[in-house]
Amino acid sequence: MGRNDDVLTEDEADAIFRALGDPSRRAVFRFLRSCCCAVAIDEASGEVRPFPGVTVGEVCCAVPIAPATVSQHLKALKEAGLIVTERQGKFIRCGVDPRTLRKLAVYFAVPPDDNGSSCC
The pLDDT assigned to 7 comes to: 84
Domain with 86 in it: 10-107
Domain count, the chain: 1
Mean pLDDT of 58-67: 89
Domain membership flag for residue 4:
no
Give the per-residue pLDDT at 1: 39
Q: Is residue 79 part of a domain?
A: yes
Where residue 24 sits, what CATH number does that domain have? 1.10.10.10
In a domain, residue 83? The reply is yes
Who wins on pLDDT, 120 or 18?
Answer: 18
Q: Is residue 91 in some structural domain?
A: yes
Q: Is the pLDDT reported for residue 34 higher than 90?
A: no
Compute the average pLDDT of residues 21-47: 81
Is 118 a domain residue?
no
Residue 97 clears pLDDT 50, i.e. is over it: yes
Per the CB < 8 A criterion, the answer to whether 97 and 84 are in contact is yes
Q: Is residue 1 part of a domain?
A: no
In angstroms, rounded to a whole number, what is the distance separating the alpha carbons of residues 73 and 28? 8
Residue 98 has pLDDT above 80, yes or no: yes
The b/e string for 93-106 (b: 16+ C-beta within 10 A; e otherwise) is bbbbbebbeebbee
When mean pLDDT is compared across 35-49, 54-68, 100-114, the lowest value belongs to 35-49
Average pLDDT of every residue of the chain: 83
The 10s digit of each residue's pLDDT in 9-30 is 999 999 999 999 999 999 999 9
Query: Is 80 exceeded by the pLDDT of residue 110?
Result: no
Which residues, 6+ apart, have CB-to-CB distance to 107 below 8 Å?
7, 8, 13
